[in-house]
């Protein structure tokens, strides 16, 4: 059975903080399986004045970061992983449309596999019910992964 995380509860499972926390609310998470939530994009986001003047949109790198953060929540909500740091190993991303001020980026992230501290997963970001971005990701919890590396 899934549960939700408000902005403060989210911080227990996601190490990023303002201005780099790219999730506002997790609407549903089933640990080790998926996490779903959103980022509301107000006109006051720190990046809109410079990306780009006269035609502001959310930078693609931050869209990817939002999806990776949601996948991190799907992993770190598992038993014993609360508060652990994750690192990116590989991302393949596709951007389908601009994400604009005033929109909400709705994110669904799914764990495809989780073994030895390495997660393969995928995520999709939507605005107004249409796919805006999608990614296949590989992220790790180094503290776990390093236990499986050959000893020197």
Active site residues: 51
The string over 94-121, giving b where at least 16 C-beta atoms fall within 10 Å of a residue's C-beta and e elsewhere, is ebeeebbeebebbbbbbbeebeebebbb
Query: Encoding tokens for residue 61?
Result: 């790198």
Residue with tokens 């939530």: 37
Q: Which phi-psi region, left, alpha or beta, contains residue 45 (left: φ > 0; alpha: ψ -120 to 50)? A: beta
Nearest-angstrom CA–CA distance, 104 and 99: 8
């Amino acid at each position: 059975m899934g549960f939700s995380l408000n902005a403060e509860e989210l911080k227990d499972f996601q190490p990023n903080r303002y201005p780099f926390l790219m999730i506002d609310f997790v609407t549903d998470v089933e640990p080790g399986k998926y996490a779903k939530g959103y980022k509301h994009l107000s006109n006051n986001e720190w990046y809109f004045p410079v990306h780009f003047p006269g035609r502001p949109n959310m930078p693609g790198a931050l869209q990817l970061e939002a999806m990776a953060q949601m996948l991190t929540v799907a992993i770190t909500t598992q038993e014993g992983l609360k508060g652990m740091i994750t690192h990116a190993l590989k991302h393949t991303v596709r951007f389908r449309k601009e994400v604009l001020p005033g929109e909400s980026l709705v994110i669904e992230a799914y764990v495809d596999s989780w073994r030895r501290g390495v997660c393969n997963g995928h995520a999709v970001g939507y605005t107004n019910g249409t796919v805006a971005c999608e990614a296949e990701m590989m992220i790790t919890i180094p503290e776990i992964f390093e236990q499986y590396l050959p000893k020197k």
